[in-house]
Structure 1
Amino acid sequence: MSFTFSPEQARANADAAQYTLAQYYADLNYAIEVNSQLGLREITFGFKRMFVSETQVDQVISAARAARFEAERLTTSESDYFIRIGWQNAHPVAISA
């Protein structure tokens, strides 16, 4: 097996990278759906700091709680914000902005 994607292509993608909060919401909803189907009751989800602000992460946490999920912020790294979303005792509905 060989690589089909070159370092030059990867650098060009990285230089042009953009990711919206709406895309994060879509990814988060998908992650909740898939992981719940696997029998899990929570997920850890990361946001790249270059694409979202701390305030936006707090808004996602508030939206998750409004949708009756358990939600909390976890450790922040140099490049990422992390949150935990759970549905141990909640009745989930789709999260939206």
Structure 2
Amino acid sequence: MADKYAISFHESFSLSRVSLSYIIKDAGHSATSYSELSISALGTNYQKAMPRYAWRAGLLDEQKQLTDFGRFAVQYDPGLEKLSTQWLLHYHLAAP
């Protein structure tokens, strides 16, 4: 099991909802690992950092598959713009 609480999981990038939305949309199209994510809009380091943020935010599980929350977000709030979605992201990021 990867260390969920590692200090450098984010590659020193701040969280970006737009980038997270690319990650979950791509994961919804059967991407099964970070290396398979084909997100041309994100740079190389972002392609490493944002899936990790998606995992910490409860959108992806440890196998890099969408969680129930991730599937819900892709279907109903793909841009992660709704306040309720943002609160859930915050909850997952802050929860132990």
What is the TM-score when the length of structure 1 is the normalising length? 0.31
Bigger strand fraction: 1
Bigger helix fraction: 2
Larger radius of gyration: 1
Q: Which has the higher contact order (CA 8 A, sep 6+)?
A: 2
What is the TM-score when the length of structure 2 is the normalising length? 0.31
